[in-house]
Structure 1
Amino acid sequence: MTFLRTNPRTNPRTNPRATARLRMAALVALPVLALSVACGGGDDSAGAAKKDDAIADVPAAPTAKDGKDGKDGKDGNKPSAPPAGKSAFYDAQMKYVQCMRVKGGYKDFPDPKLSGYLDWTKVEEIASRPGQNEAYKGGKNRVCVPEMQAVMDVEPERDQQKAYESMLAHAKCMRDNGVSRFTNPTMSGGNAQPGGDPNPASPVLDRDSPSYKKAREACQPKLIDSVEGMQ
Structure 2
Amino acid sequence: MSPKTTSRATARLRLTALAVLPVLAFSAACGSGDDSADGDRKNDEIASVPETTTASPSTKNDSTPSTRPAGKSAFYDAQLLYVRCMRVKGGYKDYPDPKLSGHLDWGKIEEIASRPGQMEASKGGKNGVCAPELQKAMMAEPKRDQQKDYESMLAHAKCMRDNGVSQFTNPTMSGGNAQPGGDPNPASPTIDHDSPAYEQAREACKTKLLDGLDGMQ
Query: With structure 1 as the length reference, what TM-score do the two structures score?
Result: 0.67
**CA apart distance, 1:202:** 2.8
Identity %: 70
Read off the aligned partner of 2:18 and give its amino acid letter.
Answer: L
SS at match of 1:110: coil
For each residue in 1:193-225, what CA deviation from the matched residue of structure 2 results, as whole angstroms up to 9, or x when unmatched? 111112334321000111111111111111111
For residue 97 of structure 2, the aligned residue among 98, 105, 111 is 111
Which runs of structure 2 are paired with 1:204-215 in the superposition (5 Å)? 204-215=190-201
SS at match of 1:111: coil
**CA apart distance, 1:181:** 1.2
Misfit runs of 4+, over 3 Å: 15-19, 83-86
> Match for residue 10 of structure 2?
20
**CA apart distance, 1:91:** 0.6
**CA apart distance, 1:182:** 0.7
2:75–2:140 contact (8 Å) kept in structure 1:
yes
Unaligned segments of structure 2, at least 5 residues: 22-67
Read off the aligned partner of 2:92 and give its amino acid letter.
Answer: Y
Question: Is the aligned partner of 1:185 residue 2:146?
Answer: no
In 2, distance between residues paired with 1:182 and 1:34? 23
Larger Rg: 1
**Aligned residue pairs, count:** 166
In 2, distance between residues paired with 1:18 and 1:120? 9
In 1, distance between residues paired with 2:138 and 2:187? 27
SS at match of 1:192: strand
1:183–1:196 contact (8 Å) kept in structure 2:
yes
Read off the aligned partner of 2:214 and give its amino acid letter.
Answer: E
Question: Is the aligned partner of 1:151 residue 2:137?
Answer: yes
> Match for residue 95 of structure 1?
81
Which runs of structure 2 are paired with 1:207-226 in the superposition (5 Å)? 207-226=193-212
In 2, distance between residues paired with 1:129 and 1:224? 26
SS at match of 1:225: coil
Question: Is the aligned partner of 1:35 residue 2:27?
Answer: no
Q: CA RMSD in A?
A: 1.9
> Match for residue 11 of structure 1?
none
Which runs of structure 2 are paired with 1:55-74 in the superposition (5 Å)? none
1:158–1:226 contact (8 Å) kept in structure 2:
no
Read off the aligned partner of 1:21 and give its amino acid letter.
Answer: A
**CA apart distance, 1:84:** 6.2
Read off the aligned partner of 1:179 and give its amino acid letter.
Answer: V
**CA apart distance, 1:16:** 4.4
**CA apart distance, 1:227:** 1.8
**CA apart distance, 1:153:** 2.1
CA spacing shift, 1:96–1:198, aligned 2, 3 Å? same
Read off the aligned partner of 1:87 and give its amino acid letter.
Answer: S
> Match for residue 61 of structure 1?
none
